[in-house]
C-alpha cells in the first residue's frame, strides 16, 4: 500500500472517530429543541453532509478546469474521486433531509428551495458518474467528464437562483449570515464540531479514494 493510501486511511479513521464523538455530543449534550423535539438533532448530521456534497462538487469543477488546462491525468483521477466521495455525502444529505422533514414539516418531500437544489446536485453527480462509466478510452473519458464538470459548476448558481426565486420552506440560514449566529451556544458548538468531523472524514475518504484509483491504474499499466 502506498503512503498516500495509508495516510488517507488514517485520516479517514480519525474522521470516523470524530464523527462518533459528534454523535455522543449531539445526542447526549445538546438541548432538546422546544418546537421540533428530537428530530431537530438530525440538523447536526444533515447540514455538514450538504456542505461536503457542495464542497466536493466544487472540487470536481476546479479539478476539471485544471485538467483541461494542464492535461495531467492525476487531475482527472482527482475529479473522479471527488465526484465519488461527493455522491456518498449527497446520499446522506438526501436521506437525512426527508427524515427531518416528515416529523417537522409533516411531509417526506416538498419542493422547497434547498431540498430541490440538493436533488439537482445529486443528479449532476449521477450524470457525471454515468458518463464516466460509458466512455472507454481514458483520454476521451477525461476530456468529456472535465467538460461536463465545468458545465455543472456553472449550472449550480443558476439552479440555486431558480429554486430561491420560489417560496422556500427551509429554515433560514442560521450560521452563515451577516448578523451573529442565532443558535444557542451548545447547539452551535455541536454543529461546528460536526462540520469539522465531516470535513476531516471527507478529506480522508477523498485521499484514500484517489490513492487507490492511482495505485490500481499503475498496477494495470505495469501488469
Partner 1 sequence: MADLFRAALAIAIKDIRVEGRSRTALISAVTFAALVLVIFNFARDPGALPKSALAPSVLWITFTFAAVIALNRSFALEKENAALDGLLLAPVSRSAVFLGKYLANLAFVFVVLAVTLPLFVLFFDVGFEGGLPGILAAAVLATLGFVAVGTVFAAITVRTRFADLMLPLLLFPFLMPPVTWAVQITTRLLSGRPVGEILGWLRLLALYDVVFVTLSLLLFPLLMDE
Partner 2 sequence: MPVDANGGGGYMVAAYVVTAVILGGYALMLWRKAKRIASSE
Nearer to partner 1, 21 or 126 (CB): 126
Under rule CB under 8 A, residue 181 binds partner 2? no
Cβ 144 to partner 2 shortest distance, Å: 25
d(C-alpha 96, C-alpha 72), whole Å: 37
Three cell numbers written together for 149: 464538470
d(C-alpha 199, C-alpha 215), whole Å: 24
d(C-alpha 118, C-alpha 90), whole Å: 7
Contact 4, 207 (CB under 8 A): yes
Under rule CB under 8 A, residue 167 binds partner 2? no
- Short-list 158, 97, 93, CA closest to 125: 93
- Out of 27, 29, 95, 140, name the contact with partner 1 by CB under 8 A: 140
Considering only the stretches 56-64, 70-78, 87-95, 124-132, report the one whose residues sit in contact with partner 2 under the rule CB under 8 A. Answer: 87-95
Residue for grid cell 491504474 = 217
- Out of 27, 151, 173, 184, name the contact with partner 1 by CB under 8 A: 151
Under rule CB under 8 A, residue 159 binds partner 1? yes
x/- mask, partner 1, residues 162-181, rule CB under 8 A, reads x-------------------
Amino acid at each position: 500500500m502506498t503512503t498516500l493510501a495509508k495516510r488517507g486511511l488514517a485520516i479517514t479513521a480519525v474522521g470516523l472517530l470524530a464523527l462518533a464523538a459528534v454523535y455522543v455530543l449531539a445526542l447526549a449534550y445538546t438541548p432538546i429543541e422546544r418546537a421540533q423535539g428530537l428530530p431537530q438533532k438530525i440538523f447536526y448530521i444533515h447540514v455538514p453532509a450538504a456542505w461536503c456534497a457542495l464542497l466536493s462538487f466544487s472540487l470536481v469543477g476546479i479539478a476539471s478546469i485544471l485538467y483541461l488546462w494542464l492535461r495531467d491525468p492525476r487531475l482527472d483521477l482527482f475529479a473522479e474521486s471527488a465526484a465519488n466521495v461527493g455522491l456518498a455525502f449527497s446520499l446522506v444529505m438526501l436521506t437525512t433531509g426527508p427524515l427531518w422533514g416528515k416529523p417537522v414539516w409533516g411531509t417526506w418531500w416538498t419542493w422547497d428551495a434547498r431540498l430541490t437544489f440538493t436533488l439537482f446536485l445529486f443528479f449532476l453527480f449521477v450524470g457525471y458518474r454515468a458518463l464516466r462509466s460509458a466512455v472507454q478510452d481514458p483520454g476521451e473519458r477525461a476530456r468529456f467528464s472535465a467538460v461536463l464538470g465545468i458545465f455543472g459548476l456553472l449550472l449550480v448558481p443558476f439552479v440555486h437562483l431558480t429554486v430561491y426565486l420560489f417560496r422556500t420552506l427551509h429554515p433560514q440560514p442560521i450560521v452563515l449570515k451577516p448578523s451573529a449566529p442565532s443558535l444557542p451556544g451548545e447547539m452551535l458548538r455541536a454543529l461546528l464540531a460536526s462540520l469539522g468531523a465531516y470535513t476531516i472524514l471527507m478529506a480522508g475518504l477523498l485521499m484514500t479514494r484517489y490513492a487507490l484509483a492511482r495505485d490500481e491504474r499503475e498496477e494495470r499499466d505495469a501488469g
